Amino acid sequence: MRRKDENGFTLVELVISMGMFSIVMLAIMFFLTAGTKSYGHSKSELNLQMESQMLLNQIRDITYSSNYAKYDSTHKALILYDVDKVPAPTPSAGATAAPVATAAPAPTKTAKVTIVYLVDDKLYLRKDLDPTAVDAASLTTTCVAMDDFLFSRYMQDFKATIKKNDVQLTMKMKNGKSKYELNEGITIRNGWITYP
């Protein structure tokens, strides 16, 4: 004998409902995974943008205090000089001899050098160098000294173009799959001098 009010699910209905539930759960998991990856990618790209702006500001400050620059494309190094003109020595106050017709010695120039350079996808800064120590040989043999400052560990490429009173910087950065490129010009306030 059967009861007339018998309620429940058949095996077919149960299998169909479990299949639909699985499809919905897979779709939710897919959207959550995609959202997490997108958030991580956006965060990484934002970090690259922030770091590139910080680097640009620091290089801009160094460039503003410089009055001569050159770019070594072989070593990807921006070399910035802060040159002081040292006046020619004047005769001492106690000298009573008549002036001699010889020409006074020409003023000399002293400089401190700052280098921003790229090695193995890392950007470094070296400050307060003697300009006589800056040549192609020293850049290759003394790169990444212990007291050099690590500017960025995500730098893929670093270039500078120098024209009149402008330094045009190109920085390409990469962190994982995230990439960012910055092209920015820095205008020198006081103009370049001739050095040496």
Segment (H or E) for 113: strand 108-119
Segment (H or E) for 15: helix 11-64
Segment (H or E) for 171: strand 166-175
pTM above 0.75, yes or no: no
Over its length of 196 residues, how does the chain's per-residue pLDDT go in tens digits?
555 556 777 888 889 999 999 999 999 999 998 888 888 888 888 888 898 899 899 988 888 888 888 888 888 888 888 887 665 555 555 544 444 444 444 455 677 888 888 888 888 888 877 776 665 555 554 455 666 888 888 899 999 998 877 899 999 998 888 889 999 988 877 677 776 6
Phi, psi angle pair for 112, to nearest 5°: -115, 140
Contacts of 114 (CB under 8 A, 6+ apart): 62, 66, 79, 80, 82, 125, 126, 127, 128, 129
Q: Which residues pair with 152 in a beta bridge?
A: 123
Taking the alpha carbons of 6, 12, 14, 20 in that order, is the dihedral positive or negative? negative
Radius of gyration of the chain (CA): 33
Cα-to-chain-centroid distance, residue 67 = 21
Q: Are 152 and 53 in contact (CB under 8 A)?
A: no
